[in-house]
Amino acid sequence: MAPVVLVVPGRIEARTGGTIYDRRIVHGLRDRGWHVDVLELDASFPYPTPVARAHADEALAGIAPGTIVIVDSLALGALPDLITREAGRVRIVALVHQPLAAATGLDADVAARFAQAERQALAVATLVVITGHAARALLAPYAVPPERIVVVEPGTDTPPDAIGSRGDRRADTAGRGSARGLGAVALLSVGTVHPGKGHDLLLDALAAVESRSWHLTCAGSLTRDPSTTSRLRELARRLGLADHVSFVGDLDRPELAARYDAADVFVLATRQETYGMAVAEALAHGLPVVATMTGAIPKLVGDEAGILVPVDDKAALVAALARVLDDASLRARLGDGARRARQRLPTWAAAAERMSGALSALTVHG
């Protein structure tokens, strides 16, 4: 087997969906006999500082010829000239969670620069791995030949069923507002706080629901986009929801598992996904889901495990939230559906096997 280097911005142990995917794939490849090194770039990517760029230049130049170099998309579109330079002596594999140019809320000029850079880098990639079928449409403007694209969807673990807000164990030990009284429905949303995750829409929709017998916990980094975090806190205050919403930030795996365990309903108003790892994890815990129809979420949830609404459709989201908040029997039925849906979820072993197969074909056929 050829040696493999995974190039990832920031720490591979970071708690984002992308780095969780990268980390699990690395472990899975190593289990299958691949020698995989991880090259951690500066966390400033995809907007590298001059020092970060110089480090990336030196590090990429030091990789041995013939190595398979898997480049995470957060770095790929920020280093098109370096990727082009190295493509003549190493085999570049683009790992595209989502094209940089497709991110929600980007300035038009920034998006155009990212698109041009990604087009250049993808043109010299020997293989393009995407983490969800929805990414095919996002790659269409780059004219990547279909035979160079492989889909390797994330896997899912198999945790125990969530016990919900009325169980003996509690995930939350601080910041208990007035909404956490007897009978309050525990809502959980998981995702890095930035415009694409739709936290603003979720708060607006919850403010329009007549019931206040609920509490929303938002788990996910509050520091990657501090301006959005500030706006959301102010929005919650202005809507009168400050006692009903907790922003708990980045959580380690045991803490996040405890949040899932204590939840009654998983909610996600995301504007764009290529897959939907948090939704898959919610289903694995047996939680009913209220989410938007993007990425693989419709396939994951199906018609029995949750209520799905169009992206940015506030009225539909309000109606869906009202239904699950007001109807305990509906929540129970959707929870049963979630436990059935999780039997269809792919595993991390299957994801690693598919990635291993794609890399093996690369070493054989070039």
Which CATH number goes with the domain that contains 71?
3.40.50.2000
| Residues 317 and 353 both lie in one domain | no
Examine residue 193 and state whether it is found in any structural domain, yes or no: yes
Co-location of 131 and 227 in the same domain = no
Residue 75 maps to a domain = yes
Residue 96 maps to a domain: yes
* Tokens found for residue 232: 């959301």
Note whether residue 48 is domain-resident.
Answer: yes
Q: Are residues 204 and 310 in the same domain?
A: yes
The domain in which residue 20 lies consists of 4-155+347-365
In a domain, 201, yes or no: yes
Looking at the structure, tell me whether residues 262 and 355 fall in a common domain: no
Residues 205 and 320 in one domain: yes
* Residue at 164 is within a domain: no
Tell me: do 302 and 207 sit in the same domain: yes
**Can you give the pLDDT at residue 15?**
84
Predicted confidence at residue 365, as pLDDT, reads 61
pLDDT at 174: 35
Whole-number pLDDT of residue 14:
85
Give the per-residue pLDDT at 286: 97
Same domain, 256 and 130: no
pTM attached to this predicted model: 0.89
Question: Does 358 map to a domain?
Answer: yes
Same domain, 151 and 220: no
**361 and 314 part of one domain:** no
Q: Same domain, yes or no, for 16 and 144? A: yes
Residues of the chain with pLDDT under 50: 168-182
The domain tally of the chain equals: 2
The pLDDT of residue 362? 86
Same domain as 200, residue 67: no
Give the separation between CA 178 and CA 161, rounded to whole angstroms.
Answer: 27
24 closest CA partner among 356, 348, 279, 357: 348
Q: What is the pLDDT of residues 293-328, one digit of tens each?
A: 999 999 999 999 999 999 999 999 999 999 999 999
Instruction: State whether 328 and 358 are in the same domain.
Output: no
Residue 220 lies in a domain: yes
Q: What pLDDT is attached to residue 296?
A: 95
